[in-house]
A and B are shown apart, each in its own frame.
Chain A
Amino acid sequence: MLAYIIRRLIYAIPILIGVNLLTFALFFVVNTPEQMARVQLGDKHVTEEAVQEWKAQRGYDKPLLINGDAEGAGAFTETIFFEKSLSLFALDFGKSDAGRNIAADIEQRMWPSLAVALPTFIIGISVNIAFALFVVMFRASIFDTSAMILCVGLMSVSGVFYVIAGQFFFAKEWSLVPISGYLGGADAWRFLLLPVIIGVISGIGGGTRLYRTLFLEEANKDYVRTARAKGVAELTVLFRHILPNGMIPILTSVVVVIPSLFMGSLLVESFFGIPGLGSYTLDAIQAQDFAIVRSMVFLGSVLYIIGLLLTDISYTLVDPRVRLS
């Protein structure tokens, strides 16, 4: 297995270079270093000298990809792309274009992201699985049909609607929770309650339908019929037989997102004022801070690759037939 993991990590390098190159190209197609400088320096009294100084201080005074004036390897190394990208592979994110240490910011902001994403994820998965099993138990009945109509209804509603409706009723009309904001420490749960509830409810529709399909496939297999024929109780059939065997495809969609939980949610964090990495990325895009955008995309890619690797490893844990080689 170790050899497999090392091989996968080596495969990740060209992927990350590709992601970096793509991010770089997309960003600089839209923005030039001069435009970035003008955004950072503001609108008033900005002189050409100040723009050039800003670029020089941040290393944006070099060519983007190929330095025609440099000789040998310098043609590639003395460029913005090389200088800004290489350090990322050592997880050295450097400083933002506004001058702040990005790693310190990420370290500070990943916890609020995690505080929202982790309970939403765990409770959401649990609720979806429980609800899907409940529906499977009453498959082809009025419960099944009603549940599926409910799921399709839940899926059809925009995420923003859940947020606004939740804030309106729970926070404004009924005064049960703060409408938005965030406080650290013991007070945090009051601010997390509503986003977590909304996150869970908005995910029920899609999650339940997916898991129901997976569980139904298992429920029709011979071993389940055999278990029932032996007189095994329905709950035992569901939890001891169908659920473990249905977990393999579930793992595909679940484990891969676990590392990405650190990255936060743009929508929820923005509407609820949660100071996580989702809003950090959004702010950076709006401020045209390439250093942060590049770092966050890189970090997201690394976490996604780790997620895929963890998925593969988890297969071996839940299915003894799978061996990584």
Chain B
Amino acid sequence: MNTQGSLVVAALAVAFTFLTSGCSEGAWNNPHPADEAGKNILYSNFSGPPKHLDPVISYSSDEGRFIDQIYDPPLQYHYLKRPFELEPNTLSSMPKIVYLDTEGNEVASDSPDLAYSDYLFELTPGIYYQPHPALALDTSGAPVYAFESSDDAEPYSSLNDFSETGTRELVAGDYAYQLKRLADPTLLSPIRGLMSEYILGMNEFAEVVKAEREAQQEGEWLDLRTLDFSGVEVIDRYRFRIRLKGKYPQFSYWLAFHFFAPIPFEADRFYSMPGMADKNITLDWYPIGTGPYMMTQNDPNEAIILEKNPNYRDDFYPAEGEISDRTAGLLDDAGQKIPFIDKVVYRLEKESIPLWSKFLQGYYDRSGIASDSFDQAISVGSEGIGLSDEMRERGISLDVAVTPGTYYFGFNMLDDVIGDTGTAEEREKKRLLRQAIAIIYDQEEYISIFYNGRGETAMSPIPPGIFGYQEGQEGMNESVFDWSDGAVVRKNTDVARELMVKAGYPDGRNAETGEPLVLNLDTVGSGGSAAQSWLIKQFKKIGIQLNIRGTDYNRFKDKMKAGNAQMFQWGWLADYPDAENFLFLLYGPNGQVVTQGAGVNSSNFDHDRYNALFEEMKLMENSPERMEIIREMIDILHHEMPWASSFHPHSYVLNNAWVYNSKPHGISKSVLKYLRIDPEQRARMQAEWNSPVLWPLFMVVIIILVTALPGYLAYRRRLNHRIRPAGGDK
């Protein structure tokens, strides 16, 4: 072999050695560090950086999946029981509720003199914060880190750079401090407006804070402990009280939200030190809590890592659940200490194809199902929806649950053509028009085509599993469906055509002018999608010309806020599992127009009887009487038709074979502590599924050589080519 040939072989050998040596400890395509193999680590993903991790600001489920493992609100949802049930979290028992009149005397819960509700909380002693530099104290009890100028912060670029950490016990004052933060107008908590309607003195406290901040220098820490908040009282080390104006039964659900999780004042002081914000070291980036996990890395450009909080209290896997939970093995770990998993690594994954591939390679433990992958994951047969053979062979399991939410196709009730406007006769005709549209809007077909069947047609805003939901014929919307042979059947298109005649639009034309009826769907996007073509086809069934008015999201929201949309599609995911949180979507005072965009009633539906019933219902505990009121409210909706149609989406989650105790919880995100994995099984399966295929590498080398060889030979020929002298050299 000549020198050049030897060089090529040597280079290939070096490259091969380099490749194999770098990957010798695991599969070559493993996206996780090799030293993590076989460890008790759960791998998950996220699609975009969380905006906020401060518990008073964060209001997105994408953020809740991180911080709800860290922060400890007073209450939590039982992991297994359905319907959803609240239970104490950091409390020794459920909060005691006392109703008072204006004089402070105790009254009954249904007393007309009821003016205040007092919630008394008692903490379980012995709960400690995660190790954190904000809690690090020197021998004299003073904070280790107390910067006087931004120069002191210069050596630190992340929280991990602070070598000293400390902890302390959770006390009632920490909850009070967080409530004061919630009221602080500069923090822009999304629920401040809502809570200020109920928590006594919240607005007044906000004014005081605002005045104090204006008197301060920029960036200076305001110790909220020094300011009084009349609605919040710390009774002693472990007890505190919140006073509400009037009665608000849904407040208990809010107490399971991270908005009400404790924040130690030391953390607020720590993050307010000079220079910290310039380094992006803020509470909005580095949470501090008493929960089962703590955030040890927040690099949303690469990975967010949660590790077990070494100071986490004694907490145990539930011993009760639904009947089916036992057979599903969900009670096998009953009474075991939680959390089971040592570390959770969330990696940034923006595209669905790599995400799905990594799940199938065993590098992600759990996955949702994107539309692209649905056919590979799920088979739809005569016996219903189930896992495909490929998934079953891999031992993958499927969790299906109804998401506590409602997606709907709504009418703007302020619109002149289809809304609830004009004389009584005109209003009735418009109601019939809405009913005709509701009949021809084939929601079942829409779910089948565009959601791969992952949803169910809604008969009311309330989804299954929430008090107020009615099944079967009892809950059926009689304006749109008939009950036939024990099943709900959509009314015939002929019925819709008859309604069109009564509405003054025979065959979709104005009976007086003969002009075609053109309705507008205001939506986000440019138009022309398959779903929009489908919609146009639906409306054509009764001769209506549907015009799609696509726009960007900002313009769309402006239209909704101003009441300029005619028809639209929108959705709602519940904050808490109560009928009030769904029926308020159509409560008049919540109208988008009347609230200047703050309300959730996008249809601007405003019905006196419905509003009165809602106000009565929202103050009631779940009871037959409440159920009766909800029924009447739903009947009004069935008659008035502010929405053409709606559906409750289903969530599908796949678990690899080594994941245990997975049960979807539509409301709570604080479920990580219940999950368990078998890392050894995972390592075995990963090795089996990901052995590298080397022949393509050799093929590439051979192809290059085969391609280069003629070139090389031609080059050699050219070098040796001799120019023949004129006349030849014979």
Query: When the two chains form their complex, are residues B351 and A45 in contact, meaning their CB atoms are under 8 A apart?
Result: no
Q: Is B540 close to A, CB under 8 A?
A: no
Q: Name the prevailing secondary structure of the A interface residues.
A: helix
Given known A-B contacts A35-B557, A176-B692, A283-B48, A42 and B23 have beta carbons under 8 A apart: no
Residue of A nearest to B284 (CB): A99
Query: When the two chains form their complex, are residues A138 and B711 in contact, meaning their CB atoms are under 8 A apart?
Result: yes
Given known A-B contacts A49-B193, A143-B711, A180-B351, A175 and B357 have beta carbons under 8 A apart: no
How far is it, in angstroms, between the C-alpha of A31 and the C-alpha of B598 when the chains are bound?
A: 19
Q: Is B696 close to A, CB under 8 A?
A: yes
Query: When the two chains form their complex, are residues B301 and A42 in contact, meaning their CB atoms are under 8 A apart?
Result: no
Hey, what's the 0/1 contact readout for A266-287 against B, CB within 8 Å counting as 1? 0000111101000110010001
Query: When the two chains form their complex, are residues A35 and B558 in contact, meaning their CB atoms are under 8 A apart?
Result: yes
* Residues of B148-167 contacting chain A, CB below 8 A: 157
Given known A-B contacts A42-B190, A46-B597, A187 and B357 have beta carbons under 8 A apart: no
* Residues of B684-707 contacting chain A, CB below 8 A: 690-693, 696-697
Query: When the two chains form their complex, are residues B693 and A176 in contact, meaning their CB atoms are under 8 A apart?
Result: yes
Query: When the two chains form their complex, are residues A177 and B29 in contact, meaning their CB atoms are under 8 A apart?
Result: yes
Q: Is B652 close to A, CB under 8 A?
A: no
* Residues of B592-615 contacting chain A, CB below 8 A: 596-598, 600
Query: When the two chains form their complex, are residues B282 and A99 in contact, meaning their CB atoms are under 8 A apart?
Result: yes
How far is it, in angstroms, between the C-alpha of A101 and the C-alpha of B277 when the chains are bound?
A: 7
How far is it, in angstroms, between the C-alpha of A272 and the C-alpha of B575 when the chains are bound?
A: 34
CB distance from B52 to the nearest CB of A (A): 8
Hey, what's the 0/1 contact readout for B278-293 against A, CB within 8 Å counting as 1? 1110101100000000
Q: Is B375 close to A, CB under 8 A?
A: no
Contacts of A272 in B (CB 8 A): 354
**The residue from B22, B301, B598, B719 contacting A112, defined by CB atoms under 8 A apart:** B301
Query: When the two chains form their complex, are residues B28 and A177 in contact, meaning their CB atoms are under 8 A apart?
Result: yes
Mark the stretch among B72-80, B114-122, B342-350, B508-516 that contacts chain A.
Answer: B342-350
**The residue from B354, B598, B691 contacting A179, defined by CB atoms under 8 A apart:** B354
Q: Which of A39, A183, A273 has the most CB of B within 10 A?
A: A273
Query: When the two chains form their complex, are residues A176 and B697 in contact, meaning their CB atoms are under 8 A apart?
Result: yes
* Residues of A149-195 contacting chain B, CB below 8 A: 164, 167, 169, 171-184, 187, 189-191
Contacts of A184 in B (CB 8 A): 302
Hey, what's the 0/1 contact readout for A97-127 against B, CB within 8 Å counting as 1? 0111100110011001000000000000000
How far is it, in angstroms, between the C-alpha of A279 and the C-alpha of B552 when the chains are bound?
A: 21
Hey, what's the 0/1 contact readout for B573-586 against A, CB within 8 Å counting as 1? 00100000000000
A-B residue pairs, 5 tightest by C-beta: A275-B301, A180-B354, A178-B31, A47-B193, A174-B693
**The residue from A172, A174, A175, A270 contacting B351, defined by CB atoms under 8 A apart:** A270
Contacts of B280 in A (CB 8 A): 100-101, 104-105
CB distance from B51 to the nearest CB of A (A): 5
27 contacts between A and B (CB under 8 A): A30-B552, A30-B554, A40-B51, A42-B59, A48-B598, A53-B185, A53-B188, A101-B277, A101-B278, A143-B711, A169-B696, A171-B357, A174-B692, A175-B690, A176-B29, A176-B693, A176-B696, A176-B697, A178-B30, A179-B354, A180-B351, A180-B354, A181-B354, A271-B354, A272-B354, A273-B347, A275-B302
Q: Is A241 close to B, CB under 8 A?
A: no
**The residue from B28, B51, B353, B692 contacting A164, defined by CB atoms under 8 A apart:** B353
Contacts of B278 in A (CB 8 A): 101, 104
Query: When the two chains form their complex, are residues A271 and B186 in contact, meaning their CB atoms are under 8 A apart?
Result: no
Q: Is B249 close to A, CB under 8 A?
A: no
Contacts of A279 in B (CB 8 A): 301, 350
Residue of A nearest to B195 (CB): A45
Q: What's the count of A-B pairs with C-beta under 8 Å?
A: 166
Contacts of B48 in A (CB 8 A): 283
Q: Is A233 close to B, CB under 8 A?
A: yes
Query: When the two chains form their complex, are residues B190 and A45 in contact, meaning their CB atoms are under 8 A apart?
Result: yes
Given known A-B contacts A143-B714, A167-B357, A179 and B29 have beta carbons under 8 A apart: yes
**The residue from A35, A44, A48 contacting B190, defined by CB atoms under 8 A apart:** A44
Contacts of A287 in B (CB 8 A): 51
How far is it, in angstroms, between the C-alpha of A19 and the C-alpha of B558 when the chains are bound?
A: 29
CB distance from A171 to the nearest CB of B (A): 5
How far is it, in angstroms, between the C-alpha of A138 and the C-alpha of B52 when the chains are bound?
A: 60
Q: Is B715 close to A, CB under 8 A?
A: yes
Contacts of B719 in A (CB 8 A): 233-234
Query: When the two chains form their complex, are residues B557 and A38 in contact, meaning their CB atoms are under 8 A apart?
Result: yes
Q: Is B239 close to A, CB under 8 A?
A: no
13 A-B pairs besides A53-B185, A177-B29 with CB distance below 8 A are A35-B557, A42-B190, A44-B190, A45-B193, A49-B193, A57-B186, A98-B51, A101-B278, A167-B353, A181-B349, A191-B31, A234-B715, A273-B354
Q: Is B473 close to A, CB under 8 A?
A: no
* Residues of A265-320 contacting chain B, CB below 8 A: 270-273, 275, 279-280, 283, 287-288
Contacts of A179 in B (CB 8 A): 29, 31, 354, 357-358, 361
Contacts of B347 in A (CB 8 A): 181, 273
Q: Is B730 close to A, CB under 8 A?
A: no
Q: Is A41 close to B, CB under 8 A?
A: yes
Q: Is A137 close to B, CB under 8 A?
A: yes
How far is it, in angstroms, between the C-alpha of A134 and the C-alpha of B710 when the chains are bound?
A: 12
How far is it, in angstroms, between the C-alpha of A252 and the C-alpha of B299 when the chains are bound?
A: 38
Query: When the two chains form their complex, are residues B31 and A172 in contact, meaning their CB atoms are under 8 A apart?
Result: no
* Residues of B1-46 contacting chain A, CB below 8 A: 22-23, 27-31, 33-34
Query: When the two chains form their complex, are residues A50 and B23 in contact, meaning their CB atoms are under 8 A apart?
Result: no
Q: Is A54 close to B, CB under 8 A?
A: yes
**The residue from A31, A50, A100 contacting B554, defined by CB atoms under 8 A apart:** A31
Given known A-B contacts A38-B557, A137-B715, A190 and B23 have beta carbons under 8 A apart: yes
Residue of B nearest to A98 (CB): B51
Query: When the two chains form their complex, are residues A45 and B29 in contact, meaning their CB atoms are under 8 A apart?
Result: no
Contacts of B692 in A (CB 8 A): 174-176
Query: When the two chains form their complex, are residues B696 and A174 in contact, meaning their CB atoms are under 8 A apart?
Result: yes
Residue of A nearest to B49 (CB): A283
Contacts of A112 in B (CB 8 A): 301-302
Contacts of A176 in B (CB 8 A): 28-29, 692-693, 696-697
Q: Is B194 close to A, CB under 8 A?
A: yes
Query: When the two chains form their complex, are residues A180 and B188 in contact, meaning their CB atoms are under 8 A apart?
Result: no
Q: Is B636 close to A, CB under 8 A?
A: no
Residue of A nearest to B18 (CB): A189
How far is it, in angstroms, between the C-alpha of A11 and the C-alpha of B671 when the chains are bound?
A: 59
Contacts of A181 in B (CB 8 A): 31, 347-349, 354
Query: When the two chains form their complex, are residues A172 and B190 in contact, meaning their CB atoms are under 8 A apart?
Result: no
Q: Is B562 close to A, CB under 8 A?
A: no
Contacts of B192 in A (CB 8 A): 47, 50
Hey, what's the 0/1 contact readout for B90-119 against A, CB within 8 Å counting as 1? 000000000000000000000000000000
Q: Is B718 close to A, CB under 8 A?
A: yes
Given known A-B contacts A38-B557, A44-B190, A180-B354, A138 and B348 have beta carbons under 8 A apart: no
Contacts of B492 in A (CB 8 A): none
CB distance from A302 to the nearest CB of B (A): 22
Hey, what's the 0/1 contact readout for A48-86 against B, CB within 8 Å counting as 1? 111001100100000000000000000000000000000
Contacts of A187 in B (CB 8 A): 33-34
Q: Is B191 close to A, CB under 8 A?
A: yes
Given known A-B contacts A175-B29, A191-B31, A180 and B190 have beta carbons under 8 A apart: no
Contacts of A189 in B (CB 8 A): 22
How far is it, in angstroms, between the C-alpha of A128 and the C-alpha of B557 when the chains are bound?
A: 50
CB distance from B273 to the nearest CB of A (A): 15
Residue of A nearest to B358 (CB): A179
Q: Is B681 close to A, CB under 8 A?
A: no
Contacts of A190 in B (CB 8 A): 22-23, 28
* Residues of A242-273 contacting chain B, CB below 8 A: 270-273
CB distance from B28 to the nearest CB of A (A): 5
How far is it, in angstroms, between the C-alpha of A105 and the C-alpha of B300 when the chains are bound?
A: 11
Q: Is B371 close to A, CB under 8 A?
A: no
Contacts of B185 in A (CB 8 A): 49, 53
Residue of B nearest to A95 (CB): B277
Contacts of B710 in A (CB 8 A): 143
Query: When the two chains form their complex, are residues A46 and B598 in contact, meaning their CB atoms are under 8 A apart?
Result: yes
Contacts of A109 in B (CB 8 A): 301
